[in-house]
């Protein structure tokens, strides 16, 4: 324990390296964290979590899993469950049940687990989760409806599967010390009563506190965390191990309670979850022993084959009966089902508890779960895009535009792009600006476009370009740095800033390699002023006789060419580094100043 501080700092540094590597390689972070934990634990013996934390290990893991499950359940909006098509609803209900049943049966016969332990493993491996599916979708470029199905299945099955897994675990844990089925059912009923009752009551009462602003806004996130942990501890005190169900139900209740501002809470929990998940999975993977890894013989691989080769295809086939999906599209859906954070966290916690109370087969829970996670994430991350290309269900190169900002300038540009047939999304944290954009018929995202919430709910599958048109210079800069990694250097742009502001801007040099949008003198302040003074963003078709120079002379320089849209929908934007030359068949979008001679002449006539 004398080097405990150094060990904790080393774990944090290792977690940061894993997160960075995952970002660089565009892979789910959980994969890097688990591999690092296995390398630090059973492979090299450098990290021994049990020696480091002692008796505190189980409570720490339990609290961390409670936070993860609570955050996941905060995203379970039942209105969304009913609003994303019959296929998604079937996959997160009947599909989850089919997968769980097949996994349970195969675990019993292939892994020689008791029906109780097999059912726990089957329930755990139902969950995919957004943290593993969303990074995959960003590079997959599948048809839009396939992306939407996979995306919403991952988001919604996370809390739904967590509730199911917790219920199955509670039933098995309660029945382990009693041979009487009636007694087990009574104990399970008590757990469910306390979990649902305390979760609903706590969620409703705390929702009233948040909705009526009885607590300062800056304390909402902190207060929610403390209330959640208090209910978790109280529930466990009233009846052992009922706390996980309580916090999961509490989160789902808050998510569906009208008028409760959960978005700031979710964003706070996202930051906390990154910290918890990063450290937690290194520690959990490090607890694996060589003996546990040795258990992963051919039966474990056969179980994996049944899970991905039988359970998932059968669930997809049954859940898509009567849909308009083609066979090729169903094949892609059947291939993609990576397991993620909820499965890993809950498996580790359940194994700790079940081993403690002496349930046979509990030692198999973690290695088999980690085998499924690593195998599905690696194979599907590497093969899903080639498979989509081979099946012919990929979309062409994305040409949609994400505009940072929903102000007057952003709305004017977005409206012209949308009218020309380009997919456009405006992202802004100003609700007034978002409402004006929605009234103009534009697709919007309300919130911070750089948040984890945006990573789950901001649809980027058709987006190929980023235009930073926000009045906030730092947001424009951070958005450019963030989306450059996803979209590519030549499709992300920066906006000019005044030299005085540039000198004090910490991200100035980091952005110098990006194209300068519209010109060296075109700042957001200038664009905003021109539009407010009566300037108009206009588009016109470039026919065979179109020439730029006569148009430039007609406007006498009171004109700013912005971008061209090719006949195929491909965009070319005006930048300081390269001029904009329209071609035959292009649509030219430009800003006509209020004092343009051509515009005044047209108005006079």
Percent of the chain with pLDDT over 90: 5
Statement to judge: residues 364 and 430 lie in one domain: no
Q: Are 101 and 236 part of one and the same domain?
A: yes
Q: What predicted TM-score, i.e. pTM, was given to this entire model?
A: 0.69
In this model, does residue 225 exceed pLDDT 80? yes
- How far apart CA 108 and CA 122 sit, in angstroms, is 10
Is residue 71 located within the same domain as residue 213? yes
Residue pair 45/244 in contact (Cβ under 8 Å)? The answer is: no
Domain stops at, among 330, 362, 391: 391
Residue 103: predicted pLDDT: 92
Domain holding 34: CATH number? Answer: 1.20.1530.20
Residue 311: the pLDDT is 92
Task: State the pLDDT at residue 75.
Answer: 66
Residues 366 and 413 in one domain: no
Paired strand residues for 540: 588
Domain of 332? 4-391
Task: Answer yes or no: is pLDDT of 313 > 90.
Answer: yes
The pLDDT of 518-535, averaged and rounded, is: 83
Same domain, 328 and 475: no
pLDDT band at 599 (very low <50, low <70, confident <90, very high): low
The burial of 232, by beta-carbon neighbours within 10 Å (0-12 exposed, 13-18 middle, 19 or more buried), is given as buried
Task: Supply the pLDDT for residue 545.
Answer: 65
Task: Please give the Cα distance from 274 to 280 (Å, whole number).
Answer: 10
* CB atoms near residue 441 (< 10 Å): 10
Give me the CATH number covering residue 509. 3.40.50.720
Same domain for 303 and 380? yes
Statement to judge: residues 551 and 406 lie in one domain: yes
d(CA 115, CA 121): 10
pLDDT band for 306, please (50, 70, 90 cuts).
Answer: very high
Q: Is the dihedral of CA 551, 531, 481, 425 positive or negative?
A: negative
Range 387-401 average pLDDT: 81
Choose the most confident range, by mean pLDDT, from 260-264, 438-442, 592-596: 438-442
pLDDT at residue 554, as a whole number:
64
End-to-end CA distance of the chain: 86
488, 343: one domain: no
Mean residue pLDDT across the chain: 79
- Specify the pLDDT at position 548: 65
> Distance between CA atoms of 37 and 146, rounded to whole angstroms?
34
Has residue 440 got a pLDDT over 80? yes
Dig out the tokens for 263 from the structure. Answer: 């978005």
Rounded to 10 degrees, what is the CA torsion of 77, 80, 81, 83?
Answer: 160
Residues 199 and 340 in one domain: yes
Of 391, 409, 433, the residue that ends a domain is 391
- Asked whether residue 99 falls in the same domain as residue 123, the answer is yes
What is the per-residue pLDDT across 73-117, written as a single tens digit (0 to 9) for each?
A: 776 666 655 545 788 888 888 888 999 999 999 999 998 888 888
pLDDT at 405 over 90: no
Please report which confidence band the pLDDT of residue 389 belongs to, taking 50, 70 and 90 as the band edges. confident
Name, of 290-299, 322-331, 511-520, 582-591, the range with top average pLDDT: 322-331
Same domain, 442 and 488: yes
Write down which residue in 342, 357, 391 finishes a domain: 391
> pLDDT of 343-369, one tens digit each?
777 787 788 778 777 778 888 888 888
Q: Enter the tokens of residue 332.
A: 């892609």
> In this structure, are 417 and 384 located in the same domain?
no
The whole-angstrom separation of Cα 232 and Cα 206 is 14
Lowest mean pLDDT among 176-185, 550-559, 561-570: 176-185
Answer yes or no: are the C-beta atoms of 111 and 299 closer than 8 Å: yes
Total count of domains within the chain: 2
Quote the strand ranges of 136-204, DSSP E.
Answer: none
Average pLDDT of the segment spanning 217-240: 83
């Amino acid at each position: 324990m004398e080097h405990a501080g150094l060990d904790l700092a080393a774990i944090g540094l290792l977690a940061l390296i894993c997160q960075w590597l995952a970002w660089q390689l565009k892979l789910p972070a959980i994969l890097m964290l688990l591999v690092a934990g296995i390398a630090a634990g059973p492979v090299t013996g450098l990290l021994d979590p049990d020696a480091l934390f002692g008796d505190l290990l189980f409570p720490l893991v339990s609290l961390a899993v409670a936070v993860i499950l609570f955050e996941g359940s905060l995203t379970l909006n039942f209105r969304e469950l009913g609003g994303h098509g019959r296929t998604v609803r079937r996959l997160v209900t009947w599909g989850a049940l089919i997968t769980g049943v097949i996994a349970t049966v195969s675990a019993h016969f292939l892994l020689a687990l008791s029906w109780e332990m097999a059912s726990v493993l089957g329930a755990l491996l139902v969950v995919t989760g957004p943290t593993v599916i969303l990074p995959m979708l960003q590079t997959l470029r599948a048809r839009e409806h396939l992306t939407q199905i996979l995306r919403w299945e991952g988001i919604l099955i996370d809390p739904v599967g967590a509730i199911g897994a917790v219920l199955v675990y509670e039933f098995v844990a309660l029945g382990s010390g009693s041979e009487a089925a009636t007694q087990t059912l009574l104990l399970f009923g008590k757990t469910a009563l306390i979990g649902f009752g305390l979760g609903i009551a706590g969620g409703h009462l705390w929702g009233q506190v948040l909705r009526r602003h009885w607590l300062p806004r800056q304390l909402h996130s902190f207060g929610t965390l403390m209330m959640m942990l208090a209910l978790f501890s109280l529930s466990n005190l009233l009846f052992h191990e009922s706390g996980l169900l309580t916090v999961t139900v509490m989160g789902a209740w808050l998510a569906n309670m009208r008028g409760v501002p959960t978005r700031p809470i979710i964003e706070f929990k996202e930051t906390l979850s990154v910290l918890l998940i990063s450290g937690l999975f290194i520690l959990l993977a490090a607890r694996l022993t060589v003996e546990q890894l040795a258990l992963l013989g051919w039966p474990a691989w056969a179980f994996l084959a049944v899970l991905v080769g039988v359970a998932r295809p059968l669930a997809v086939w049954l859940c898509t009966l009567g849909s308009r999906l083609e066979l090729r599209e169903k094949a892609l859906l059947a291939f993609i089902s990576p397991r993620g954070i909820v499965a890993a966290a809950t498996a580790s916690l359940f194994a700790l508890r079940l081993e403690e109370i002496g349930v046979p087969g509990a030692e198999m829970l973690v290695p088999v779960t980690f085998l499924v996670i690593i195998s599905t994430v690696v194979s599907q991350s590497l093969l899903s895009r080639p498979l989509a290309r081979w099946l012919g269900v990929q979309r062409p190169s994305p040409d949609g535009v994400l505009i940072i900002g929903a102000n007057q300038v952003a709305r004017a540009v977005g409206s012209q792009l949308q009218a020309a047939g380009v997919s456009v999304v405006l992202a802004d944290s100003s609700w007034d600006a978002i409402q004006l954009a929605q009234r103009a018929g534009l697709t919007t995202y309300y919130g911070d476009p750089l948040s984890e919430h945006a990573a789950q709910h901001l649809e980027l599958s058709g987006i190929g370009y980023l235009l930073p048109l926000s009045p906030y210079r730092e947001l424009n800069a951070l958005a450019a740095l963030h989306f450059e990694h996803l979209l590519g250097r030549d499709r992300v742009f920066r906006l000019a800033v005044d030299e005085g502001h540039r000198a004090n801007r910490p991200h100035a040099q980091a952005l110098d390699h990006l194209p300068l949008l519209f010109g060296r003198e075109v700042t957001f302040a200038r664009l905003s002023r021109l539009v407010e003074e009566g300037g108009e963003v206009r588009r016109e078709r470039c026919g065979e006789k179109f020439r730029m120079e006569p148009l430039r002379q007609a406007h006498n320089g009171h004109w700013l060419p912005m971008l061209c849209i090719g006949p195929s929908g491909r965009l070319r934007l005006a930048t300081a580094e390269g001029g904009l030359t329209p071609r035959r068949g292009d649509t030219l979008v430009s800003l006509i100043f209020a004092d343009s001679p051509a515009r005044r002449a047209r108005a006079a006539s």
